Amino acid sequence: MVSQVKRLNLQKIRRRRRVRKPLTGSAERPRLSVFRSNKHIYCQLIDDESGKTLVSASTRDRGLRSKSYGGNKDAAAEIGKVLAERAIAEGVKTVCFDRGVYKYHGRVAALADAAREAGLSF
């Protein structure tokens, strides 16, 4: 008998594979990957062809750490805005969004909407 924790972990792995299977990031259109924990949210633009991270932002960055609590939608929106500004400075305007195992609502949706408003297209 498989325990409930193992079953939930297997579901997360399957969901991650299903979401990421059609997504590949390139230098022209990198993959915007999102990770959220209870306290913080992290995102990065990844070029899968070369295996490099082009731009990253998180609530643990020095300039953003002094802001409010990092585990809410306001902080996620701020991170989306900062990531979009850094990406545009690097010359990236279009990305493919990789939500990972997370549903597209709450903090993940707030981050995506703020990145779109700041100039990224996906």
Give the pLDDT confidence score for residue 39 in this predicted structure.
92
pLDDT digits (tens, 9 = 90+) for 68-90: 687 899 999 999 999 999 999 99
Which domains occur in the chain, in start order?
Answer: 4-117 (3.30.420.100)
Q: Is the pLDDT of residue 63 over 70?
A: yes
To the nearest whole number, what is the mean pLDDT of the chain? 89
Query: Side-chain half-sphere of 87: how many Cα atoms within 13 Å?
Result: 31
Contact 23, 31 (CB under 8 A): yes
Q: Which percentage of the chain shows pLDDT scores above 70?
A: 97
Facing residues of 44 across strands? Answer: 33, 56
Is residue 30 predicted with pLDDT exceeding 80? yes
Residue 67 has a pLDDT of 67
pLDDT at 2 over 90: no
Joined tokens for residue 53: 């991270």
Q: Is pLDDT of 16 > 90?
A: no
- Cα separations (Å) of 4 from 7, 10, 11? 5, 10, 11
| Distance of alpha carbon 27 from alpha carbon 61, whole angstroms | 24
What 8-state DSSP symbol labels residue 85? H
Comparing 15 with 55, the larger pLDDT belongs to: 55
| Percent of the chain at pLDDT exceeding 90 | 60
**Arithmetic mean of pLDDT, 22-46:** 89
